[in-house]
Amino acid sequence: MRGAVPPEAPLTVPAGQFLPPAVVVEPPVDLPPAARLVWDRQAPHAMEQRTLTAATAFAFGRYCQVVAAEQDEAKSTARGGANHRGLLKQLESYEQRFLLIAMARPMAAPAPAVVDEDEEFFGGHGRRA
> Does residue 77 fall inside a structural domain?
yes
> Does residue 59 fall inside a structural domain?
yes
Domain count, the chain: 1
Could you tell me which residues come within 8 angstroms of residue 18 by beta carbon, excluding any fewer than 6 positions away?
Answer: none
Could you tell me which residues come within 8 angstroms of residue 31 by beta carbon, excluding any fewer than 6 positions away?
Answer: 39, 61, 64, 65
> Does residue 48 fall inside a structural domain?
yes
> Does residue 14 fall inside a structural domain?
no
Domain that holds residue 70: 33-103
Q: What is the DSSP letter of 98?
A: T
> Does residue 92 fall inside a structural domain?
yes
> Does residue 82 fall inside a structural domain?
yes
How does pLDDT run along the chain (129 residues), one tens digit per residue? Answer: 444 444 555 555 555 565 566 778 899 999 999 999 999 999 998 888 888 988 999 999 999 999 999 988 888 888 888 888 888 888 888 888 888 887 645 555 566 677 777 776 666 655 555
